[in-house]
Structure 1
Amino acid sequence: MDFRGGDDRIMTAIGIMPAPGLVQGKRRPAIDVARGLALVAMAAYHGSWDATYFGLAGFDLLGDPLWLAARTAILSSFLLLAGIGLVLATRDGLDPARFVRRLARVAAGAGAVSAASYILFPDSPIFFGVLHHIAVASVVGLAFVRLPAALTLAAAAAAVLIGTTQSFPLFDSPWLRWIGLTTVAPDSNDFVPLLPWIGGVLAGIGLGRLWPGLGEGTEIAGPAGRLLALAGRHSLAVYLLHQPLLFGIAWAAAQLMPVDTPAVRDFQASCVASCERAGVASATCTANCRCVQSELARNGAWEGFVANRLSEREQRGLEAAVAVCRKP
């Protein structure tokens, strides 16, 4: 991202990007630090997902209430900061040209994420993830930045309520799924539909209107604080780069070291015992079971297998893994 000439501008973020419509003023380091902390939490979550994907860990990210709550909290923090940033960036008026340039950067980042996901996960691509959501929500949010805070907060609550309680078959259409209200969640590695999640952006706008001095007068001291603030200022770049880096590290670790987690050990013991009961030699059973676990991890089905929630695609992956590993 190009921040030249921006030392005296409020380069607050629409979630994980510099906000459109930047105006003259001083930065608010506390907002940058908050965004940096959200990035750290997000990286920890993604690192856990990568470790589970490659069979290095057995986190139940899809079913454990604590993991689900962590995902909700991390994502909500980004969207809340998006709304606050939009208020700060437009408090003295909107610069349309700057808004469009920043919006284009987020849209380009969203496109890059989708393209990479279609290559890596063709059966569960990211077609409307957090960047896609922020791009759309930043446009919708402009309609609220001058409205009374109470009205915007009420709209935020309504968005969350409707998005979490209502569903209609109409919105299962591939062209409408991004809105939310689907009866069946689409198979995607990062799905952040407009409803209910725009409630987080609207809540941030409402808070920004209620508390216009948010983050003012705070000086950041110490290397950790300065590093977090730096990450917060360049959050789009951090977002786009961190996951390929973590994914690559997890992949390399899975290639270099034997996978030995409680989930893997339980699977191996159960698989070998079942195989031996069928009259197969112990050494053959051990080799075949290790092969099946490796194939499940390679195909991205291990997480669903551990959680006992294999999708139709993952079930086919399991059957394919068993077939491959049984070949002499």
Structure 2
Amino acid sequence: MTAIGIAPAQDLARGSRRPAIDVARGLALVAMAAYHGSWDATYFGLARFDLLGDPLWLAARAVILSSFLLLAGIGLVLATRDGLDPGRFLRRLGRVAAGAAAVSAASYALFPDSPIFFGVLHHIAVASVIGLAFVRLPAAVTLATAAVAVLIGTTQSLPLFDSPWLRWIGLTTVAPDSNDFVPLLPWIGGVLAGIGLARLWPAMGEGVEVTGGGGRLLAWAGRHSLAVYLLHQPLLFGIAWAAAQLSPVETPAARDFQAACVSSCERAGVSSATCTANCRCVQSELVRNGVWEGFVANRLSERDQRGLEAAVAACRKP
């Protein structure tokens, strides 16, 4: 999976926030939730979105992720514009790091073959520390550095960085199997670009009032973006799982599987009723064991292949 993450709101002093920035972050959260919901639906066979191959989906991921990193950079400048408060910065950094650790732990438990070891929260934690070196530099210097980071990160690759200890930097020759990999290069370019833009436009978002229930809701989500990030995906994942359990054979992907499976089974001389029951059982087992997404995408790992064989064996009728 390629998951998309968020940039947690900066810890600004009470009354010093800029609601327009919070609304922008809230809009990005909506886009991120839509993407994650699409991934969940595909994972459980409720839809057939080609998230890893369709250029439009790949572009959507890049835009959504870039928007959060850009806002993280802007927030870092706003949080330090009156000087760095070490205690506040470290508390925020600790919350982001704790969130990153929780995401990694959950991903290792659910997806041991493609865990999240350096996702967006990990990236934001590291980029926030690096970003402190740029919050007082001229905007032109920071924007130039952002461009160089993107250029190097998208054009260079060295076997040295394939090491498990260095993959988080980027520049790998083979992308690691991870559900949300956001390496330092090229993505720190987004954070640095946000820092540069906030330095170039110090009054960004000032004087903009948020009105209406929708605007206030977006601003609230933007203020609590870390909590929204940590809670939304388990909620969406659970909803998709429940939907798959309630109607495991009523989705487009499942219907295609059922038709092909039953046809193949009948050609082997098995009755239609037995084939239908067996194929429904196999599909349900694949969903239950978390193998369905890889099966539909035709990219089963060795572990998934064993899961497929186990499902077939468990559902075979005498």
Same-fold call, TM cutoff 0.5: yes
Matched, 1:286 2:304: no
- Partner residue of 2:10? 19
- Partner residue of 2:3? none
Matches within 5 A, 1:116-195: 116-195=106-185
Q: Indicate if the aligned counterparts of 2:46 and 2:253 stay in contact, CA closer than 8 A.
A: no
Q: 1:66 aligns with which of 56, 74, 90?
A: 56
What is the Cα deviation at residue 208 of structure 1? 0.7
Tell me the distance in 1 between the aligned counterparts of 2:249 and 2:209.
Answer: 45
Q: Indicate if the aligned counterparts of 2:278 and 2:317 stay in contact, CA closer than 8 A.
A: no
Q: 1:220 aligns with which of 204, 210, 217?
A: 210
Alpha carbons of structure 1 residues 298 and 63: separation in structure 2 relative to 1, 3 Å: farther
- Percent same amino acid among aligned pairs? 87
- Partner residue of 1:243? 233
Q: Which runs of 5+ in 2 are unaligned?
A: 1-5
Deviations 1:82-140 (A, max 9, x none): 00111111112111111111100110111111111111112221111111110001001
- Partner residue of 2:24? 34
What is the Cα deviation at residue 315 of structure 1? 3.6
Tell me the distance in 2 between the aligned counterparts of 1:324 and 1:191.
Answer: 35
Tell me the distance in 2 between the aligned counterparts of 1:232 and 1:266.
Answer: 40
Q: Which runs of 5+ in 1 are unaligned?
A: 1-14
> In the alignment, residue 42 of structure 2 is paired with which amino acid?
T
Matches within 5 A, 1:286-325: 286-325=276-315
What is the Cα deviation at residue 211 of structure 1? 0.9
Q: Indicate if the aligned counterparts of 2:142 and 2:195 stay in contact, CA closer than 8 A.
A: yes
Q: Indicate if the aligned counterparts of 1:23 and 1:95 stay in contact, CA closer than 8 A.
A: no
Q: Indicate if the aligned counterparts of 1:23 and 1:90 stay in contact, CA closer than 8 A.
A: no
Tell me the distance in 2 between the aligned counterparts of 1:269 and 1:236.
Answer: 43
> In the alignment, residue 283 of structure 2 is paired with which amino acid?
Q
Tell me the distance in 2 between the aligned counterparts of 1:71 and 1:228.
Answer: 20
- Partner residue of 1:3? none
Matched, 1:199 2:216: no
Q: Indicate if the aligned counterparts of 2:248 and 2:284 stay in contact, CA closer than 8 A.
A: no
Q: Indicate if the aligned counterparts of 1:60 and 1:303 stay in contact, CA closer than 8 A.
A: no
What is the Cα deviation at residue 70 of structure 1? 1.2
> In the alignment, residue 32 of structure 2 is paired with which amino acid?
M
Residue-pair matches, total: 313
Alpha carbons of structure 1 residues 275 and 120: separation in structure 2 relative to 1, 3 Å: same
- Over the aligned positions, Cα root-mean-square deviation in angstroms equals 1.8
